[in-house]
Amino acid sequence: MYGGMKSRNLQGPIAAKILLRTSSPGFGCMAVRLSRDGLLLMSERAKDLPLWFLVALAPSFEPTPCAVVWQNGDVIRVAVFDGAELLRAECA
């Protein structure tokens, strides 16, 4: 499976959207939740992504900040942050 992760711990892919700081509406991708704060994202545009961006998961598609921690071609692993974690990181 992806990055040596055992498939028994992974849930099936879900629809997601990647949102950038530009005025573009973003673009779709597929996501696999690895943990509460970790995702695998699959997108043909993965190599063009910045280190920080927003990801929105189905069904709510609420934007959530994330950071790239690993990449292999069209697959990236991201750490997902809530607003409080980001505020603490910016103030540190």
User: Taking the domains of the chain in order of start, what are their residue ranges?
Assistant: 2-91
**Of 23, 73, 24, whose CA–CA distance to 47 is shortest?**
73
Does residue 83 carry a pLDDT above 80? no
Cα separation, 27 vs 80, whole angstroms? 18
Check: CB of residue 31 under 8 Å from CB of residue 41: yes
Pairing state between β 75-80 and 63-72? antiparallel
User: Stretch 44-52: mean pLDDT, rounded?
Assistant: 92
Architecture of domain 2-91: Beta Barrel (2.40)
Q: Name 38's bridge partners.
A: 35, 79
What's the CA gap between 40 and 90, in Å, rounded? 25
- Take residue 26 and report the two structure tokens written for it: 């973003």
pTM for the full predicted model: 0.77
Q: What is the mean pLDDT of residues 7-15?
A: 72
